[in-house]
């Protein structure tokens, strides 16, 4: 069973040692190899975007694993025959909801001059803003918190490091994790690269 997306970047740890990083297929194959050779420490796979632990299915040969991951992704994108037959003709419904927007004349003039008109331009602006929010400090802090809680909860200074993370204190955070196992420390640094880039809110 997989939790999270089939694409993107993932990292596997064997205890406090980084085992592999890359796509979910690459990391799953690395985990399978480690299992076959015997492991002495717990194996955990993390979604680097959310910081959460991901369950991976290592059953079967490498080709089967890759096909299974590719198949689940393709299946989610391919419309079913029933859905295509029942879809009415004309423009598809996009879940558009009408609402009131109050802008100055110069704002309306600019929006109307954009390709697709005012509504399409507003949707693009909102989507761009949402994307920036998702990649911002808050999401980086939350993802780092998830990762640290799962892997570093018993390491010295963990609670103080969490406090420094959410307080936006980069120097204290760096000092507190400096003595942690190298791979854990380096991954925390990577995950928090944008966590301190703007003022903590």
- State mean pLDDT over 40-61: 90
Instruction: Give the DSSP letter string of the chain.
Output: ---S-SSS-EEEEETTEEEEEESHHHHHHHHHHHHHH--SS-EEEEETTT--EE-----S-HHHHHHHHHHHHHHHHSPPHHHHHHSPSSSPP-----------HHHHHHHHHSTTHHHHHHHHHHHHHHHHHHTSHHHHHHHHHHHHHHHSTTSTTHHHHHHHHHHT-HHHHHHHHTTS-HHHHHHHHHHTTTTTSS---
* Of 24 and 116, the one with more pLDDT: 24
Answer yes or no: pTM beyond 0.75.
Answer: no
* Of 158 and 83, the one with more pLDDT: 158
The pLDDT, as a whole number, for residue 94 is 53
pLDDT over threshold 70, residue 135: no
The pLDDT, as a whole number, for residue 4 is 41
The pLDDT, as a whole number, for residue 68 is 83
The pLDDT, as a whole number, for residue 107 is 82
């Amino acid at each position: 069973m997989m939790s999270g997306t089939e694409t993107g970047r993932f990292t596997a740890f064997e205890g406090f040692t980084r085992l592999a990083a890359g796509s979910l297929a690459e990391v799953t194959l690395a985990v399978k190899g480690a299992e076959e050779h015997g492991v002495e420490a717990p194996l955990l796979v993390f979604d680097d975007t959310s910081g959460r632990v991901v369950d991976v299915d290592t059953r079967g040969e490498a080709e089967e694993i890759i096909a299974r991951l590719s198949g689940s992704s393709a299946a989610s994108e391919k419309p079913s025959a029933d859905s295509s037959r029942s879809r009415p003709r004309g423009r598809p419904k996009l879940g558009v909801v009408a609402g009131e927007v109050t802008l100055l004349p110069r704002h309306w003039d600019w929006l109307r001059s954009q390709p697709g008109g005012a509504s399409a331009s507003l949707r693009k602006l909102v989507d761009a803003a949402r994307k920036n929010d998702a990649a911002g400090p808050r999401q980086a802090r939350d993802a780092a918190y998830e990762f640290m809680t799962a892997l570093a909860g018993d390491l010295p200074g963990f609670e103080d490091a969490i406090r420094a993370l959410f307080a936006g204190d980069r120097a204290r955070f760096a000092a507190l994790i400096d003595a942690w196992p190298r791979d854990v420390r380096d991954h925390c640094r990577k995950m928090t690269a944008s966590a301190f880039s703007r003022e903590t809110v």
